[in-house]
């Protein structure tokens, strides 16, 4: 038993939130991810986490950046 989410679950969450379908998440889409995995952060926290997670500073969250962020969080895959 592991608390680490399976890769396909992460992809599911990412894809659901990627409304633009461009393979990366903007701040609004990032907020959708947080909602969908049960992480309720304030607007300011969300902005802060977004900037921290955006390790290549391109203004978007990639799948690998999301993976790194969620690896340090407890989250639930939506039913
Ligand atoms: Ca990025």
CATH of the domain at 17: 1.10.238.10
Q: How many domains does the chain have?
A: 1
Residue 1 lies in a domain: no
CA of 48 to the centre of ligand 1 (A): 14
Residue 43 lies in a domain: yes
CA of 57 to the centre of ligand 1 (A): 5
pLDDT(6) > 90: no
CA of 52 to the centre of ligand 1 (A): 10
Q: What is the pLDDT of residues 8-60, one digit of tens each?
A: 888 999 999 999 999 999 999 999 998 888 888 899 999 999 999 999 999 99
Residue 2 lies in a domain: no
List all residues 6 or more positions away from 33 whose beta carbon is below 8 Å from its beta carbon: 13, 14, 17, 25, 66
List all residues 6 or more positions away from 56 whose beta carbon is below 8 Å from its beta carbon: 62, 65
Residue 79 lies in a domain: no
| Residue-number span of the structural domain to which 39 is assigned | 7-70
Residue 13 lies in a domain: yes
């Amino acid at each position: 038993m592991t608390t680490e989410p399976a890769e396909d679950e992460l992809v599911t969450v990412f894809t659901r939130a990627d409304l633009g379908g461009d393979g990366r998440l903007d701040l609004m889409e990032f907020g959708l991810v947080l909602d969908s995995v049960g992480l309720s952060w304030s607007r300011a926290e969300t902005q802060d986490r977004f900037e921290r997670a955006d390790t290549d500073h391109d203004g978007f969250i990639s799948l690998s950046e999301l993976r790194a962020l969620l690896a340090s969080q407890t989250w639930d895959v939506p039913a």
